Chain A
């Protein structure tokens, strides 16, 4: 996907770069990748190349970071990516059951996109909310849902479908 960063997005980039000493603009890489992903839903090679050009670093320096951190998507995902904690404490209170339920409800396997393009889901590691499990989050603002039950998941998915229709 070829991208053209908008003026407001470039303004945000410029603000981020001011947080670091001169010559240390590479520190802005993670915050900027988050901004790009929030805008486009994922990081295309073209988007990463343009980030590299903006920060005056080599494209490989962007790729190696984007591939290291699990929050960055290197291929298109659903409009809403449901990320369910799959680590120990959440599993003690039923996270595996919730993941199975989401798979059944959406009818797609982990990482796949529903045919309407609305949803993807995946298991992620401990989200630091172990007292309120099972938990899930939805980017780009990482809205947080806790103490999940099958009923709450159904309600959430229905709400998101409606939200997508009204927009």
Chain B
């Protein structure tokens, strides 16, 4: 068996969620690694879009920001940011949005704004950026985030971006017609929304992880599906491509 760590397991599992014909709006950080791993392995024709306006980008190293020159140089086309948000995102041309979060609840609502009170925050986070509209305008949303009791909470401090709201049909009550967060990939498992109530249910557990590990790293009452799968391990090829990508990226970012 190949050796891998839990972050690699998460990234590879997230990458496998993407299809070759997806048009994907890529969030920075973990989503960016997963999306480019998908492009470099099973989904060579995937269209990756970053909010800086780069459409169909194929970066050789992961960008540190969403607007590194590499993204523009390797893109099919670069459009103004106004056009990106108006025509491509709001216009409904993007099939998947891939997002991370600082805080998440069981309905996939995301907080990237503040910990504590908005006017008197304990921690001021960067804010929403593109996420509030990515979350509602893309066909569906994949979330990727490391599990912890601090991050996976019963009630988030601020709803930066909508998931399923209060659950059930609540999402639609805001006039949102897109599917919402259909998959949550963590370093321990995969969760998917309950078909009616929309709270996340564990549907696949990564090898070597126990149910108790997941419960211990989750701030809400964890529910497991009737049939829980075991997530397939990363292949040697996927791990090699991912490690090469990170090695190239580190060399490029440090060597300037």
Say whether A associates with B.
no
